[in-house]
Homo-oligomer: A and B are copies of this chain.
Amino acid sequence: MGPDSSQDAQTVSQVGEFGLIDRVTSGRQQSPGTLIGPGDDAAVLAAPDGRVVATTDVLVEQVHFRFDWSTPRQVGRKAVAVNLSDIAAMGAVPTGLLVGLGCSQDTPTEVVDELSAGMWEEAQQVGIGLVGGDMVSATALVISVTALGDLQGRQPVTRSGARPGDVVAVAGRLGWAAAGLAVLGRGFRSPVAVVGAQRVPEPPYAAGPLAAEAGATSMVDISDGLLADLGHIATASGVAVDIRNELLEVPQRLSEVASALGADARHWVLTGGEDQALAATFPPEVALPEGWRAVGVTAEGQGVTVDGAPYEGSSGWEHWR
């Protein structure tokens, strides 16, 4: 370290790759299922079910997050949440995370510390830890997270099992993160409820395994928007999905924000993705498990409609589009 550097102004190049890995992983509580944690060539996790569920998501600065809108800790939480939500959407419980982090040499160590603190915070909500990873130099800050999970003996719930006549239901919040994005986009920082939802989603992790146990025929996490992600179920299952406006709750808070911005709260609910809610289909005779509410039905046919009609406007997010 040079004479002008102080403890709280270190950069990753001063601490170095191995020092940085130590900071991210040392002194943390691993789950009992972590047989070999960070520090070896690979991690080893228990897979008691004899199968492992695995998903990966990449978050890029300026594309998925902005440090003028979110703190590094919030970004860390979100990076983990979007992956844990995919594990829940299969009906599984998470068992561990691997994290790849690319950042430039002048990145303050504090940013990495806070990113890592956020990732651990979210992980420990579901009792797991960061079991491995990689740190490399890159021009932009890039975070890749891989989450692993266990099905606990349940069959995985895919996107392709919906049948005509099923009930379409959701768990978790819809439209809040989209409202927060609209607020931030106008240069505001409040109301905190919607801005906070954009910064850190609160996925209904427990609702995934509950839906699987209850007999959900298909499930998806809502990362691109309710209509867009139900579109994946419609396509994979070969059914039509119809959302019923009278079933779709538009929270008062979102209506207020929409009214202040001259926006449409229902549009946020139908097309906003980043709340990481879950959508699933259930046979009509099934009592919806805790946390789930009906929003529509499936039928013979194809595509997604709202009250029987195609939805006007863009239905969700797609990269490079």
Contact = CB atoms under 8 A, between A and B. Distances in A.
B142 A58 contact: yes
A301 interface: no
A321 B221 CA distance: 40
A48 B50 CA distance: 5
A14 to B, nearest CB: 8
A149 B156 CA distance: 20
Interface stretch (A97-105, A165-173, A194-202): A97-105
Contact of A138 (B40, B41, B140): B140
Contacts of A102: 58, 60, 142
A148 B52 contact: yes
Contact of A46 (B51, B56, B98): B51
Contacts of A249: none
Interface residues of A, number: 73
A44 interface: yes
A96 interface: yes
B151 A44 contact: yes
Most B CB contacts (10 A, CB to CB) among A62, A132, A136, A159 go to A136
A65 B58 CA distance: 19
Interface string A30-61: 00000110011111111111111111111110
B40 A90 contact: yes
B55 A45 contact: no
Contacts of A139: 60, 62, 139-140
B58 A43 contact: no
Contact of A63 (B49, B54, B137, B158): B137
B321 A63 contact: no
A17 interface: yes
Contacts of A98: 54-56, 146
Nearest to A90: B42
B100 A16 contact: no
Most B CB contacts (10 A, CB to CB) among A35, A44, A64, A318 go to A44
Contact of A56 (B55, B64, B99): B99
Given A60-B136, A102-B142, A45 B40 contact: no
Given A44-B151, A60-B136, A138-B142, 15 more contacts: A13-B320, A16-B318, A17-B320, A17-B321, A40-B90, A40-B160, A42-B53, A44-B54, A45-B54, A46-B50, A54-B96, A58-B144, A60-B142, A64-B136, A144-B144
Complex A-B, nearest 5 residue pairs according to Cβ-Cβ distance, in ascending order: A144-B144, A47-B47, A42-B55, A58-B100, A13-B320
16 contacts: A16-B318, A16-B319, A16-B320, A16-B321, A17-B318, A36-B90, A40-B236, A44-B51, A44-B156, A47-B47, A47-B52, A54-B131, A56-B144, A58-B134, A60-B139, A137-B320
